Each structure stands twice: as structure tokens, then as C-alpha cells.
């Protein structure tokens, strides 16, 4: 079984714990409350902006002139804004999960599955916030760069998966390792496992595309990144160097592996 497969399997097992099921609801509820409040305050302005953008696309206007699309024309702006809200809420749930829910998830998984792994606390809350902000800024930049590809139906699902896969691994990888790894260990795993982390992010992004259940995918994804990161960190600390046993320190005791 590959590292990614193991991480996904153990993440599903961890997800069945009542504590994790409760954590699934909190980021979703907070994200919905935040954007429903924003919609209540700015709905009129946002609706006018979406309507203006739609009327500026000649190709879209040409399509809306044909039945049955004419039936949707009167409500096109409302539908467009509602569809736009879905990825916005998903991204917000991911960011809230990464910043606020991940510490509790790491503590739970670490105590149950990686109790012998020493906590070296190479990360902190400020680093988690910065990682989320930086990941979001890069994500928005990539969205702008790839915007023309979204107009090509054969490409947009793959573009969407790639962007969400990048955002997943960019936001969740730091939080998964911050409590147990040193700054050097975190940097090494990110460097050596860059593509594996990206593909893990892709799988989590696929889960996010499941209607309704997709809103809860960030917690499952967070658990998958925690299992991947902590298992990889354990491998790193127990790997032999030049055929000799590695000197490992756990809970103040020196162990030879």
C-alpha cells in the first residue's frame, strides 16, 4: 500500500470518531454563516455585478436567446451568483479547517496513532495563518492566470482539480507537521514529497466535488495530510544513515533504531 493510500485509509478510520465528526460541522457552519451574512448585506450589489458581467458576454447572450435557455435568462444572474458561492464557501471551509480545526485534529491523531513520535514544535499559529494566506494568494493568482482555460469545457474540470489540489496541499501540509516536526524536518518533507502531497491534494479535491458531502471534505483531507505527514516524519527519524542505526530522541529518551 502506498503512502497516499495508507493516509487516505487511516484518515477514513479517524473520521469515524465522534470528535472528528463534530469538527466536520464547525468549519462548514462558520463558513455558511459568514457568507450568508455577506450575501444579506451585499446581495443587491453582487447580483447587479454578475448581471452586468453576463450581459457583456456576447456568446452567452446568443445562447440565452434559444429555448429552453430563454427560461433561465430571467434568473441567470441569481443562478450564476449561487454557483459562484459554492467554490467560495468550499475555499473558506478549507481555510477555517487549516487554521482552527487542524490543531485539534493533529492532537487527536497524534495521541491515538503516533504516540511515540516526539513533538518538536517547529511551527506555530502565526506560521499556520501565514501559510493559509500565502496559499490563498497563490491560488488566486493561479485562478487569474488560468482564467481563459475555464472557457474550454474539456479543460475546466482538470483546471479546477489542479487548482484545488494545489490549495489543499499548500494549506494543510504545514499544519499537519507543525506540532511534531522541526522547521528543518517540515522543509525536508515538503521538498522531497512535493508531488506526493500534490496528488494527495488532488484526491481530496475529487472528494470536494461530491454534491453536499464536498463541504465536509476539508476535514477528511486534513486527516489524510496529518496521517501522511506524521507517518513520513516517523520514517524520516527512523531511517538508517550509512547503514548505521539512527539516534532518535523521544520524550527525552535516546533510542537506537
- The answer to the question of residue 91 being in a domain is yes
Predicted TM-score of the model (pTM): 0.77
Question: How many whole angstroms separate alpha carbon 243 and alpha carbon 235?
Answer: 15
Tell me which DSSP letter residue 182 carries: -
Question: How many whole angstroms separate alpha carbon 117 and alpha carbon 110?
Answer: 8
- The answer to the question of residue 247 being in a domain is no
pLDDT tens series, the chain, 257 aa? 689 999 999 999 999 888 888 888 888 888 889 888 887 777 777 667 666 666 665 655 555 565 555 545 545 556 666 667 777 888 888 888 888 899 999 999 999 999 999 999 998 888 888 888 898 899 889 988 887 776 676 777 788 889 989 999 998 999 999 999 999 999 999 999 999 999 999 999 888 777 767 778 888 999 999 999 999 999 999 977 654 444 444 444 444 44
- The answer to the question of residue 138 being in a domain is yes
Q: Which residue, 192, 174, 188, 191, is CA-closest to 123?
A: 174
- The answer to the question of residue 248 being in a domain is no
Cell reading at 142: 493561479
- The answer to the question of residue 244 being in a domain is no
Classify the C-alpha dihedral 209-212-218-221 as positive or negative.
negative
Predicted confidence at residue 174, as pLDDT, reads: 93
- Say if CB 122 and CB 184 are below 8 A apart: yes
Cell reading at 4: 497516499
Name the domain count of the chain: 1
Compute how many other C-beta atoms are within 10 angstroms of the C-beta atom of residue 1: 8
Looking up cell 435557455, which residue turns up?
69
- The answer to the question of residue 242 being in a domain is no
Which stretches within 193-252 are classed as H helix? 194-208, 217-238
- Say if CB 122 and CB 153 are below 8 A apart: no
- Say if CB 199 and CB 4 are below 8 A apart: yes
DSSP notation for 66-134: STTHHHHHTTHHHHHHHHHHHHHHHHHHHHHIIIIIHHHHHHHHHHHH-TTS-------HHHHHHHHHH
Question: How many whole angstroms separate alpha carbon 204 and alpha carbon 180?
Answer: 23
- Say if CB 184 and CB 191 are below 8 A apart: no
- The answer to the question of residue 146 being in a domain is yes
Range of the domain at 126: 3-236
Angle between helices 76-96 and 156-177 (to 10 degrees): 20
- The answer to the question of residue 251 being in a domain is no
Question: How many whole angstroms separate alpha carbon 61 and alpha carbon 55?
Answer: 7
Amino acid at each position: 500500500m502506498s503512502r497516499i493510500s495508507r493516509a487516505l485509509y487511516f484518515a477514513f478510520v479517524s473520521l469515524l470518531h465522534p470528535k472528528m465528526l463534530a469538527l466536520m460541522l464547525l468549519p462548514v457552519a462558520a463558513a455558511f454563516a459568514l457568507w450568508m451574512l455577506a450575501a444579506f448585506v451585499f446581495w443587491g450589489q453582487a447580483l447587479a455585478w454578475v448581471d452586468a458581467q453576463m450581459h457583456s458576454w456576447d456568446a452567452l447572450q446568443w445562447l440565452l436567446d434559444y429555448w429552453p435557455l430563454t427560461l433561465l435568462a430571467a434568473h441567470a444572474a441569481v443562478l450564476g451568483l449561487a454557483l459562484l458561492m459554492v467554490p467560495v464557501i468550499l475555499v473558506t471551509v478549507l481555510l477555517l479547517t487549516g487554521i482552527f480545526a487542524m490543531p485539534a485534529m493533529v492532537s487527536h491523531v497524534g495521541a491515538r496513532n503516533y504516540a511515540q513520535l516526539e513533538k518538536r514544535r517547529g511551527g506555530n499559529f502565526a506560521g499556520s495563518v501565514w501559510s493559509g494566506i500565502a496559499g490563498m494568494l497563490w491560488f488566486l493568482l493561479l485562478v487569474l492566470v488560468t482564467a481563459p482555460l475555464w472557457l474550454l469545457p474539456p479543460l475546466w474540470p482538470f483546471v479546477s482539480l489542479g487548482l484545488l489540489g494545489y490549495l489543499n496541499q499548500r494549506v494543510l501540509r504545514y499544519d499537519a507537521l507543525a506540532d511534531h516536526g522541526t522547521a528543518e524536518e517540515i522543509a525536508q518533507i515538503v521538498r522531497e514529497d512535493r508531488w506526493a502531497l500534490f496528488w494527495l491534494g488532488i484526491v481530496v479535491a475529487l472528494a470536494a466535488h461530491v454534491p453536499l458531502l464536498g463541504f465536509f471534505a476539508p476535514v477528511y483531507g486534513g486527516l489524510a495530510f496529518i496521517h501522511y505527514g506524521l507517518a513520513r516524519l516517523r520514517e524520516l527519524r527512523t531511517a538508517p544513515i550509512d547503514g548505521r542505526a539512527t539516534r532518535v530522541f523521544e520524550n527525552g529518551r535516546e533510542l537506537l533504531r
